[in-house]
Amino acid sequence: MSDRPSTAAHLSALFSLEGRVAVVTGGSSGIGRAIAEALARSGAAVVLVARREPELAATVRDLEAHGCRAARVSADLGSREGVQRAADRAAEPFGEPDILVNAAGINLRPPMDALGEDVWDTTMAVNLDAPFLLGQRFGPGMAERGFGRIIHIASQQAFRAFVTSGAYGVSKAGLVALARSQAEAWSARGLTANALVPGFVMTPLNARLSSDPERVAALAARTMTGRNGVPDDFAGAAVFLASASSAYVTGQAIFVDGGFSVH
Ligand SMILES: NC(=O)c1ccc[n+]([C@@H]2O[C@H](COP(=O)([O-])OP(=O)(O)OC[C@H]3O[C@@H](n4cnc5c(N)ncnc54)[C@H](OP(=O)(O)O)[C@@H]3O)[C@@H](O)[C@H]2O)c1
């Protein structure tokens, strides 16, 4: 009889999130929702933050149906006061988080000539200011407790311009840099900060683009896997980045894009 630990015990030591608390912004839809489910089904108690209550409630119900612990905070992350209030409320159901996933995002896409200060400000507020403020709110506590994981959802447009990158690409480039700044500040105290970089993923964010079969096919053709992304493509990468296993991975932008970026 082998004294090798069972596969389940081995996988659990590598990736279990049992006893962890995660806050997932944008956890009610698309990529954020798939990540919230992956973290919750790996053992974390998960708090979802987004605006629309019905989508939040439905996601919590689905997670609870899987036997997971989940709660929700309905909040608009488009203002600094909104973010502060949301952060305080997000820490109520299960305590201060060990894991922060910044998946809430908007992409308004006006052509550059028509990109006004309103779109610029709104984009920066949701896509960059909110992740920064949530990091400031939760990061120091994670570092003090000796374990923390911050995962930002960036974009190809942080690295290259296409399909009207405008303010969106700038905000996502800022997120990649924010992960590095947070990594520099806190990694020596057990907090890692990284960005996941999707390719084109069919979600409500892309409703207009997704309804154009020719453009969808053209984007799929730019990958090496021959298909566009689906939200579940982020499940494993997120669990890895949230787990003990990723302790030596920090400040990175990790592409989950079917090879979109490598040619
Ligand atoms: N889909 C892609 O191809 C793609 C590619 C690269 C990067 N990304 C990034 O991936 C992340 C998730 O996008 P997705 O495609 O999964 O989009 P999605 O399905 O539209 O989800 C966006 C989420 O963000 C929440 N949200 C938006 N504005 C908010 C606000 N002001 N306050 C609070 N919550 C807000 C939404 O909920 P409410 O509307 O109810 O607030 C929703 O839960 C985004 O950061 C996006 O930029 C997506």
Predicted confidence at residue 145, as pLDDT, reads: 98
**Ligand 1 mean position, distance from CA 26 (Å):** 5
Residue tagged active-site, from 94, 132, 138, 168: 168
Look up the domain containing 63 and give its range.
17-258
Q: What's CA 91's distance to the chain center, in Å?
A: 18
Write the pLDDT tens digit of every residue in 22-72.
999 999 999 999 999 999 999 999 999 999 999 999 999 999 999 999 999
Is there a catalytic annotation at residue 248? no
Q: Quote the CA–CA distance of 194 and 178 in Å, as a whole number.
A: 9
- Is residue 208 domain-resident? yes
* Residue with the two structure tokens 């995962």: 151
Number of domains in the chain: 1
What is the 81 CA–ligand 1 centroid distance (Å)?
20
Asked whether residue 112 is domain-assigned, the answer is yes
CATH number at residue 75: 3.40.50.720
Tell me if 78 is assigned to some domain: yes
Domain membership of residue 6 (yes or no) is no
Residue 110 lies in a domain: yes
Backbone angles phi, psi at 96, to 5 degrees: -65, 140
d(CA 166, CA 108): 9
Contact 160, 203 (CB under 8 A): no
* The ligand 1 atom nearest the CA atom of 126: 31
Q: What is the pLDDT of residues 77-91, one digit of tens each?
A: 999 999 999 999 999
The answer to whether residue 2 sits within a structural domain is no
Q: Which residues contact 114 (CB under 8 A, 6 or more apart)?
A: none
Segments of the chain with pLDDT less than 50 = none
Q: Residue 207 domain-assigned?
A: yes
